[in-house]
């Protein structure tokens, strides 16, 4: 019951947040000083041409009317037409979404594996040189942002030791039999491991660059809570039963220590998704973020609006999932 | 014998001095750029394109770190690029700090409705993801240095406000503040004379970290060509150019990257080092 009520409340606040973002985005964008219509037309277009095209896009109406038209459209799934490509914004954005989702999830998995391994090793050999080395590596990983890690990776594994592809999502000459845009997922389902390997080779470095700072955060926090848990009575009890140190950490301490890390991972995951904007650009990966930068450069307002709204939707959904997971996993909240 | 604490202090001290040294060197290079840069950073010479750095065969004397595809001197461009990077760090960092710290101080010390209003504002602000915020702001303001500075200030003031508010609240509850009030000092006077000096170390740490953030933001935006529009040298712009010619001329990417890496690392290590210095537990 408590979980259902929490779900209802969170769904409501999510809706409020999203409407707030929609309103802000719409009005902030309309403050733009430059006239996007003038930019669409060839030089030498008359004022009359500009007025005609403005009327076509509804830009000659008062702001509030424009907002009304826009909201009515959004509710029906019409996010307008991109000014540069003249295609529906919804199609463009949804076409790129799977690429970004796959990249973010792969990065999240890598961060959890790397950070988890660092925390477990650090706890197993706590107080020694190994823990010191892990702390130093964590500190480095944290103080340098994903953009720079991406560049370092390009140099290391793209140029010095060319193991992975440094640009694109898939080798362009390959024939793709896919019906969806979830390449990584669909290649597995279709058992096309050749394609899968090619896609992973393209995604590996951007995903790793995104994962490094998050891995450091996970490593630090999980190690801290693990070390605290290791001093609790029930862990001592497990030890007196004669279990080895590694087993005690994995079987007894980890489950209790993981909860605070989980909440943090949720918040940090939204930062990671934000990081895809620049990382996708760096690796010429055809996702939402790369498209966002093009849209900003071209001042394609309807497209920017669509992308920002979609990102906001992803962020709020991630937060919602984390809150619910936390409620499900935390016994104190579950029985409240 | 060294006990654990002095070990930590000694290592922190080294970290602090190394970072401060690098940043001082960079500031000096930026200030004296026209005199210390060996070449004109904008001078193109297509016959001298993609020269390697001095220790590689085929290098030309005078071009220490090689040239890019247009024959422009990499070292001189890095030195001149430091001007843009440090200018953004200084201006954006200071304005963000002034606005954020003032609001935080007011909220944390005055409490009441001022705190309510400012805290609400911080909450709303932080609910909006920074990346979306910056995409929107740059889209609205258009590319350029001033837009970058405005974007940093508008997005990051909450970093200062939040922390300074908490600190000011903690300080406000202390006895010395009460005695200052009893001694007849006014509210604003107490805030500036008593609270501010005690919150200042925290502000300095935050400012140092913020400058590192500003440097990276400027580099990212000039990398995607949304910073200064001319061919004025920026580290991000050099990295973007180096990225495209990475297989032909690695040095065009590597040297600005090392510079940016060291600078960002130095700002954050300096901030962390100062935090340890100011931390009474370690002191």
Strand-pairing partners, residue A88, are: A81
A186: tokens are 């669909």
> How far A144 CA sits from the closest chain B CA (Å)?
6
Closest by Cα among A330, A121, A246 to A238: A246
In a domain, B113, yes or no: yes
pLDDT (tens digit per residue) in B163-197 = 999 999 988 888 888 888 888 888 888 888 888 99
Report CA-CA distances (Å) from B94 to B80, B149, B204, B214: 22, 10, 10, 11
Of A139, A147, A304, the CB nearest to B216: A147
Tell if the CB–CB gap between A274 and B224 is shorter than 8 Å: no
Residues 6+ apart with CB under 8 A from B160: B96, B97, B99, B100, B101, B103, B104, B203, B206, B210
| Residue to substitute from B133, B140, B143, B235, interface A, most A β-carbons within 10 A | B140
- Which tens digit of pLDDT belongs to each residue from B123-143? 878 777 788 788 888 888 888
Task: Test B265 with A292 for CB contact under 8 angstroms.
Answer: no
Q: What is the rounded average pLDDT for all residues in chain B?
A: 87
Q: Quick check: B10 pLDDT over 80?
A: no
Q: CB within 8 A of A5, min separation 6: which ones? A: none
What is the distance between the alpha carbons of residues B226 and A214, in angstroms, rounded to a whole number?
A: 27
CA A301 to CA A307: how far, in whole Å? 10
* pLDDT tens figures, B254-267: 999 999 999 999 99
Residue A222 lies in a domain: yes
Number of domains in chain A: 1
Is B134 domain-assigned? yes
Is A313 near chain B, with CB under 8 Å?
no
SS3 at position A88? strand
pLDDT one-digit tens code per residue, A68-103: 887 888 888 888 888 888 899 999 999 999 999 999
Residue in the block written with tokens 């000459």: A173
* CB < 8 Å to B220, chain A: 147, 278
Averaged pLDDT for residues A325-331: 74
Q: Is the dihedral of CA A89, A90, A95, A96 positive or negative?
A: positive
B68, B49 Cβ separation under 8 angstroms: yes
**Is residue B283 domain-resident?**
no
Identify the weakest region by mean pLDDT among A8-12, A31-35, B87-91. Answer: A31-35
Task: Give me the number of domains chain B comprises.
Answer: 1
What's the pLDDT at A43? 65
Query: Which residues, in sequence order, are CB contacts of A218 under 8 Å at separation 6+?
Result: A111, A112, A114, A115, A116, A118, A119, A261, A264, A265, A268
Angstrom distance (rounded) from CA B139 to CA B226: 10
pLDDT band with cut points at 50, 70 and 90 for residue B1: very low
pLDDT at A217 > cutoff 90: yes
- Least Cα distance to B156 among B116, B204, B210, B209 occurs for B210
Q: Please name the member of B128, B140, B212 whose beta carbon is closest to the beta carbon of A31.
A: B140
Maximum CA extent, chain B: 77
Average pLDDT, chain A: 85
Q: Is A68 helix (H, G, I), strand (E, B) or coil?
A: helix
Residues of chain B contacting A, Cβ within 8 Å: 127-132, 135-136, 138-140, 142-143, 212, 216, 219-220, 223-226, 239, 243, 246-247, 250, 253-254, 257, 260-261, 264-265, 268-269, 272
pLDDT in tens, B238-257: 999 999 888 888 999 999 99
**Would you say residue A305 lies in a domain?**
no
- A23 within a domain of the structure (yes/no): no
Suggest the residue from A145, A289, A320 to mutate for an interface test with chain B (most B CBs closer than 10 A): A145
Put residue B147 in one of left, alpha, beta given phi > 0 → left and psi -120 to 50 → alpha. Answer: alpha
Residues 6+ apart with CB under 8 A from B152: B88, B92, B96, B213, B214, B217
Unique residue bearing structure tokens 């690029």: B81
The helix or strand, by DSSP H or E, that contains position A203, with its residue range, turns out to be helix A193-229
**A81: DSSP letter:** B
Domain around A239: 91-289
Cα dihedral B156→B161→B164→B165 (10° resolution): -160
Residue A50 has pLDDT above 80, yes or no: no
Is A103 a member of any domain?
A: yes
Is residue A148 domain-resident? yes
Rounded-to-integer distance, Cα A64 and Cα B143, Å:
28
- What's the whole-number mean pLDDT along residues A278-303? 90
Tell me the pLDDT tens digit for each residue of A231-255: 888 888 888 887 888 888 887 788 7
User: A127 touching B, CB under 8 A?
Assistant: no
How far apart are the CA of A49 and the nearest CA of chain B, in angstroms? Answer: 24
Q: What is the pLDDT of residue A284?
A: 93
Hey, how many other C-beta atoms are within 10 angstroms of the C-beta on A162? 11
To the nearest whole percent, how much of chain B has pLDDT over 70? 93
Evaluate whether residue B47 is within a structural domain: no
Residue A221 touches partner B, C-beta closer than 8 Å? no
The per-residue pLDDT for B261 is 94
Minimal Cβ distance to B246: which of A152, A159, A281: A159
pLDDT in tens, B69-125: 888 999 999 999 999 999 999 999 999 999 999 999 999 998 889 999 998 888 878
Instruction: Identify the three-state secondary structure at position B67.
Output: strand
Answer yes or no: is B248 within a domain: yes
Range list of H helices, chain B: 4-31, 33-36, 74-110, 112-127, 130-141, 145-172, 175-182, 187-190, 196-223, 235-244, 251-278
Q: Is A301 on the interface with B (CB under 8 A)?
A: yes
Q: How far apart are CA B4 and CA A287, in angstroms?
A: 49
Q: Tell me the pLDDT tens digit for each residue of A191-210.
A: 888 899 999 999 999 999 99
Residue A108: CATH number of its domain: 1.10.3720.10
More confident site: A285 or A177:
A285
Per-residue tokens: A176: 């793709």
Query: Which candidate in B123, B132, B249 is best for mutational testing of the A interface (most A CBs within 10 A)?
Result: B132
Q: Which residues of A touch B138 (CB under 8 A)?
A: 296
pLDDT for the residue B66? 87
Nearest CB among B138, B212, B220 relative to A296 is that of: B138
B222 in any annotated domain:
yes
What is the pTM for the complete model shown? 0.87
Q: How many CB pairs under 8 A join A and B?
A: 99
**B73: helix, strand or coil:** strand
Per-residue pLDDT band at B54 (split at 50, 70, 90): confident
- List the domain range (segments joined by +) for residue B171: 12-37+62-278
The answer to whether position A39 is within a domain reads no
Q: Does residue A336 carry a pLDDT above 50?
A: no
Question: Distance between CA A184 and CA A103 in Å, rounded?
Answer: 9
**pLDDT band at residue A335, thresholds of 50, 70 and 90?**
low
In a domain, B49, yes or no: no
Closest CA to A302 of A40, A19, A52: A40
Residue A5 inside a domain? The answer is: no
Q: What is the mean pLDDT of residues A259-279?
A: 87
Q: Kindly state whether residue B97 falls inside one of the protein's structural domains.
A: yes
Residue A143 resides in a domain:
yes
Q: What's the CATH code of the domain at B231?
A: 1.10.3720.10
């Amino acid at each position: 019951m408590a979980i259902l009520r929490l779900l209802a409340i969170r769904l409501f606040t999510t809706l409020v947040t999203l409407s707030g973002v929609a309103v802000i985005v719409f009005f902030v964008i309309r403050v733009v000083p430059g006239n996007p219509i003038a930019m669409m037309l060839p030089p030498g277009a008359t004022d009359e041409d500009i007025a005609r095209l403005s009327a076509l896009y509804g830009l000659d109406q008062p702001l509030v009317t424009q907002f009304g038209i826009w909201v009515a459209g959004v509710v029906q799934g019409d996010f307008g037409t991109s000014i540069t490509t003249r295609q529906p914004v919804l199609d463009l954005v949804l076409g790129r979404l799977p690429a970004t989702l796959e990249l973010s999830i792969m990065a999240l998995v890598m961060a959890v594996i790397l950070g988890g391994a660092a925390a477990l090793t650090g706890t197993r050999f706590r107080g020694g040189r190994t823990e010191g080395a892990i702390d130093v590596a964590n500190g480095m990983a944290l103080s340098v942002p994903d953009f720079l890690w991406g560049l370092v990776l390009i140099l290391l594994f793209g140029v010095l030791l060319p193991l992975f592809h440094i640009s694109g999502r898939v080798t362009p000459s390959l024939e793709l039999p896919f019906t969806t845009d979830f390449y990584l997922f669909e290649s597995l389902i279709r058992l096309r491991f050749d394609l899968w390997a090619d896609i992973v080779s393209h995604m590996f470095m951007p995903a790793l660059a995104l994962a490094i700072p998050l891995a450091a955060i996970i490593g630090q926090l999980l190690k801290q809570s693990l070390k605290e848990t290791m001093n609790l009575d029930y862990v001592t009890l497990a030890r007196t039963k004669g279990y080895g140190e590694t087993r005690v950490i994995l079987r007894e301490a980890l489950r209790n220590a993981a909860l605070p890390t989980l909440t943090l991972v949720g918040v940090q995951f939204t930062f990671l998704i934000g990081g895809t904007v620049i990382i996708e650009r760096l690796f010429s990966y055809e996702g939402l973020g790369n498209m966002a930068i093009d849209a900003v450069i071209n001042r394609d307002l309807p497209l920017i609006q669509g992308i920002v709204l979609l990102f906001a939707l992803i962020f709020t959904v991630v937060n919602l999932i984390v809150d619910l997971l936390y409620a499900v996993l935390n016994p104190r909240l579950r029985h409240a | 014998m060294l006990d654990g604490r002095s070990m930590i202090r000694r290592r922190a001290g080294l970290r602090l001095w190394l970072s401060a040294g690098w940043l001082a060197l960079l500031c000096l290079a930026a200030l004296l750029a026209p005199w210390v840069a060996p070449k004109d950073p904008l001078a193109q010479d297509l016959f001298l394109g993609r020269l390697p750095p001095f220790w590689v065969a085929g290098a030309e004397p005078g071009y220490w770190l090689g040239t890019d595809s247009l024959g422009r001197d990499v070292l001189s461009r890095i030195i001149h690029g430091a001007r843009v990077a440090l200018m953004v760090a200084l201006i954006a960092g200071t304005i963000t700090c002034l606005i954020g710290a003032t609001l935080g101080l007011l909220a944390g010390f005055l409490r009441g409705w001022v705190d309510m209003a400012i805290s609400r504002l911080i909450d709303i602000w932080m609910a909006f993801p920074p990346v979306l915020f910056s995409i929107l702001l740059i889209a609205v303001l258009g590319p350029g240095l001033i837009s970058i500075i405005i974007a940093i200030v508008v997005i990051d003031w909450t970093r200062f406000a939040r922390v300074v508010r908490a600190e000011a609240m903690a300080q406000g509850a202390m006895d010395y503040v009460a005695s200052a009030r009893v001694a007849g000092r006014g509210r604003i006077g107490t805030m500036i004379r008593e609270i501010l000096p005690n919150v200042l170390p925290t502000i300095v740490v935050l400012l140092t970290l913020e400058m590192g953030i500003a440097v990276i933001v400027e580099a990212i935006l000039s990398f995607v060509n949304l910073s200064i529009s001319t061919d004025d040298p920026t580290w991000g712009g050099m990295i973007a150019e180096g990225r495209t010619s990475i297989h032909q001329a690695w040095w065009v990417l590597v040297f600005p990257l090392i510079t940016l890496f060291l600078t960002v690392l130095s700002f954050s290590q300096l901030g962390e080092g100062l935090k340890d210095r100011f931390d009474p537990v370690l002191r």
